[in-house]
């Protein structure tokens, strides 16, 4: 008797201006079946089973093309899907070209085309890797990602250890019909893994590529690699700080400064117009300051000019607009600011949740203005931006870190926050921008910079206001150069503002008021029955959950979003640092009672009474008249 057929498939799809790669799929008869059945019988049964499951090569080819086309952001930018087939395997890819736009289309190959790879990401050390190859290789493109195919040919799965960048990829080795999938250390680029009813394995950058074909799926963990040879995931990224052991390296401000400058400079690698997202807070201001200093003499400056472009978004009169404008003037950048109204943000909520694939309150609050801004930036012809995500997690910059009881708790909380970045800020920065064909790069999440910063004795990071050591003090001090200042003192030492707060407090207040009009007290009383997993604790959370469930009703989709209590973006463990916090649970920085200094008095475009939108969803305003671009004269 023959055993049941075993099925293996790999698939990945990138959406809306990201690279799209979808589908490596195959069906394989068990060895014993081929041995025990008459010649040709096993193959015939295999083909019949394939047709029943919809995986016959011809239908699958059509399905892959259809899937990739469905994932495109049609009308936002011109694009096409590249299809590659190897026997009964398919690879489809849609590219957002940042490096080598002319000839870098994917999938990419080695010289003999036995290794096929489709990548979403940037490999910043690709030139160094080429120079260090054991033997000469012939490259068909100038794409930084092509090096992965050649590197795999030389060192196999260990190639991921040598990559410096942000990436998720699927690689097919036609020599033995095996494949791998891998994701960068922190999870800057998104990736999911799923399983079909037939036993197939799928990989995708977005859940929406998996919901129709997988019985279950979950987030592909950062710093991991999947191999079809073993059918398992294994962690390849194992830095010293990952275990939570308390480091003891002394603080060296110059070493920290130089490592961050190196991180920013390597991300200026681009063949397209770019800029910096500048909110005027410490993190984005440092990114802009370093980029503006080092832009001169680069290939990017030769192509697009030596003056840096910066961008900011907020409600009229918001803190971020004012601070961003001030930093742009100091750095002499070409600055554009975009304003939006609370109503425009509310109208965009359904689309934002569809794109970011989350119902997390903070993520949605911050993603909406970023989503609105990304469209305007892309309309200006810019295709890549640098952004300041990651600093608060590394240095304990959130306001609740003021209450960390000791250096051990402080360090362990930073470790927890970094490990979860792919579920929050990385997800937001990638998906809110790429929805419009814009790529976001995050210098603070450079692998080398994280390793250095996380090796510092956490006692140096502790917040001690009586000594003048505010949050992220060691980062601020590293760039406090009296002779050649990077930033004005009052900007360098400005208190932390979360992005969803800094765009204007009326935004969060407007969201809460809006949700109160759409979610009744009776609905909240039934919340645990309607949503037993991650039960919404507020009307705002309930409303986001409703929008999410319309798009992603599967239990496995719900489980991709973390839950638990939070104060000012803390983990659940850190809520215990202050007894009062358990009575004031909210992700806004204002929830850190007794910590937040500022009560902003600027006029922020106070929200009108929240309108009622039928069916709980609204139509997006295209922001042609109401969002203002304000060039700043410098």
The DSSP result for 408-465, as a single string, is HHHHHHHHHHHHTGGGTHHHHHHHHHHTTT-EEE-GGG-HHHHHHHTTB-GGGT--BG
Peptide bond into 107 cis (omega under 30): yes
Tell me what pLDDT residue 209 has: 86
Question: What is the arithmetic mean of pLDDT over 277-305?
Answer: 92
Query: pLDDT digit string (tens) for 583-612?
Result: 666 655 454 555 555 533 333 344 333 333
Tell me the C-alpha distance between 206 and 507, whole Å.
27
With a pLDDT cut of 90, the percent of the chain lying above it is 62
pLDDT at 21 over 70: no
Q: pLDDT by residue (tens digit) across 341-358?
A: 999 999 999 999 999 999
Alpha helices for 281-341 (secondary structure H): 282-294, 299-304, 319-331
The band of 7, judged by pLDDT with boundaries at 50, 70 and 90, is very low
**Can you tell me whether residue 518 is helix, strand or coil?**
helix
- Separation of alpha carbons 491 and 241, rounded Å: 30
List pLDDT tens digits, range 238-247.
999 999 899 9
- CA 606 and chain centroid, separation: 31
pLDDT for 98: 53
Q: Classify residue 125 as exposed, middle or buried by CB count within 10 Å of its CB (0-12, 13-18, 19+).
A: middle
Whether the pLDDT of residue 150 is over 70: the answer is yes
C-alpha 160/C-alpha 484 separation (Å) is: 39
Looking at the DSSP bridge assignments, the partners of residue 300 are: none
- Taking residues 87-100, report their average pLDDT: 57
pTM reported for the whole predicted model: 0.84
Task: Name the more confident of 103 and 26.
Answer: 103
pLDDT value for 501: 53
The pLDDT value given to residue 87: 60
Quote the pLDDT of residue 487: 97
* Token pair in block for residue 304: 């697009």
Site of tokens 């029943």: 52
pLDDT at 176 over 80: yes
pLDDT digits (tens, 9 = 90+) for 571-580: 988 888 988 8
Check: CB of residue 388 under 8 Å from CB of residue 286. Answer: yes
The DSSP 8-state label assigned to residue 135 in this structure reads S
Which span out of 75-84, 333-342, 621-630 was modeled with the highest average pLDDT? 333-342
Task: Look at residue 587 in the predicted model and tell me its pLDDT.
Answer: 56
The secondary structure element, H or E, covering residue 384 is strand 384-386
DSSP-derived secondary structure for 380-411:
TT--EEE--TTHHHHHT-SGGGGG--SHHHHH
CA dist., res. 586 & res. 162, Å (int): 40
Q: Indicate the range of 16-25, 291-300, 500-509 predicted with least confidence.
A: 16-25
Q: What is the mean pLDDT of the chain?
A: 81
Q: How far apart are CA 333 and CA 266, in angstroms?
A: 20
Cα–Cα distance for residue pair 179/550, rounded to 1 Å: 34
Instruction: Please give the domain boundaries of the chain with CATH numbers for all domains.
Output: 6-238 (3.60.20.10), 250-515 (3.40.50.620)
Owner of token pair 């807070």: 281
Of 559 and 67, the one with more pLDDT: 559
Which residues make Cβ contacts (< 8 Å) with residue 245, sequence separation at least 6?
A: none
**Sheet strands side by side (includes 201-204):** 201-204, 192-195, 216-219
């Amino acid at each position: 008797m023959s055993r049941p057929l075993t099925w293996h498939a790999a698939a990945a799809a990138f959406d809306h201006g990201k690279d799209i790669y979808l589908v490596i799929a195959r069906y394989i008869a068990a060895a014993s079946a081929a041995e025990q059945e008459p010649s040709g019988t096993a193959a015939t049964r295999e083909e019949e089973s394939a047709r029943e499951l919809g995986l016959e090569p011809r239908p699958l080819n059509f399905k892959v093309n259809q899937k990739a086309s469905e994932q495109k952001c049609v009308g936002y930018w011109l694009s096409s899907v590249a299809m590659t087939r190897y026997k009964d395997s398919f690879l489809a890819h849609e590219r957002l070209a940042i490096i080598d736009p002319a000839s870098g289309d994917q999938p990419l190959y080695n010289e003999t085309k036995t290794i096929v790879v489709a990548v979403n990401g940037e490999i910043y050390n690709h030139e160094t890797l080429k120079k260090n190859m054991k033997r000469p290789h012939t490259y068909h493109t100038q794409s930084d990602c092509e090096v992965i195919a050649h590197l795999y040919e030389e060192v196999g799965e260990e190639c991921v250890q040598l990559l410096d960048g942000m990436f998720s990829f699927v690689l097919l080795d036609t020599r033995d019909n095996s494949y791998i999938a891998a994701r960068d250390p922190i999870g800057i680029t998104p990736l999911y893994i799923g399983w079909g009813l037939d036993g197939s394995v799928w990989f995708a950058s977005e859940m929406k590529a998996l919901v129709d074909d997988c019985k279950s799926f979950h987030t592909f963990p950062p710093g991991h690699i999947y191999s079809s040879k073993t059918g398992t995931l294994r962690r390849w990224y194992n830095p010293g700080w990952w275990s939570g052991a308390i480091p003891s390296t002394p603080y060296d401000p110059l070493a920290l400064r130089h490592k961050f400058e190196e991180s920013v400079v390597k991300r200026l690698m681009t063949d397209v117009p770019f800029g910096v997202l500048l909110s005027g807070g410490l993190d984005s201001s440092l990114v802009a300051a370093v980029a503006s200093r080092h832009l001169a003499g680069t290939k990017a400056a030769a192509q697009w000019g030596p003056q840096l472009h910066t961008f900011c978004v907020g409600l009229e009169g918001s803190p971020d607009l004012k601070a961003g404008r001030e930093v742009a003037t100091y750095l002499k950048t070409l600055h554009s600011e975009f304003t939006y109204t609370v109503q425009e943000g509310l109208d965009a909520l359904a689309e934002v949740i569809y794109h970011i694939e989350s119902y997390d309150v903070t993520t949605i609050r911050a993603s909406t203005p970023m989503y609105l801004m990304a469209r305007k930036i892309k309309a200006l012809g810019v295709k890549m931006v640098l952004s300041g995500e990651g600093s608060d997690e590394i240095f304990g910059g959130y306001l609740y870190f003021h209450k960390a009881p000791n250096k051990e708790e402080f360090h362990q909380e930073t470790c927890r926050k970094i490990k979860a970045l792919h579920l929050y800020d990385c997800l937001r920065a990638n998906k809110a921008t790429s929805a419009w064909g814009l790529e976001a790069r995050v210098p603070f999440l450079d692998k080398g910079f994280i390793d250095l910063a996380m090796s510092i004795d956490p006692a140096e990071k502790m917040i001690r206001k009586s000594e003048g050591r505010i949050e992220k003090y060691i980062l601020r001090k590293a760039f406090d150069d009296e002779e050649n200042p990077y930033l004005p003192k009052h900007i360098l030492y400005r208190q932390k503002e979360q992005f969803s707060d800094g765009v204007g407090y009326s935004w969060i207040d407007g969201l809460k008021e809006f949700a109160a009009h759409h979610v009744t007290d009776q609905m909240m009383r039934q919340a645990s029955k309607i949503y037993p997993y991650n039960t919404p604790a507020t009307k705002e959370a309930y409303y986001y959950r409703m929008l999410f469930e319309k798009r992603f009703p599967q239990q496995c989709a719900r489980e991709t979003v973390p839950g638990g209590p939070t104060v000012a973006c803390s983990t659940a463990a850190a809520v215990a640092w202050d007894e009062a916090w358990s009575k004031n649970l909210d992700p806004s920085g204002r929830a850190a009672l007794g910590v937040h200094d500022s009560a902003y008095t600027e006029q922020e475009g106070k929200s009108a009474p929240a309108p009622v939108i039928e069916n709980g969803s609204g139509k997006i305003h295209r922001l042609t008249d109401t969002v203002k671009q304000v060039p700043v004269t410098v």
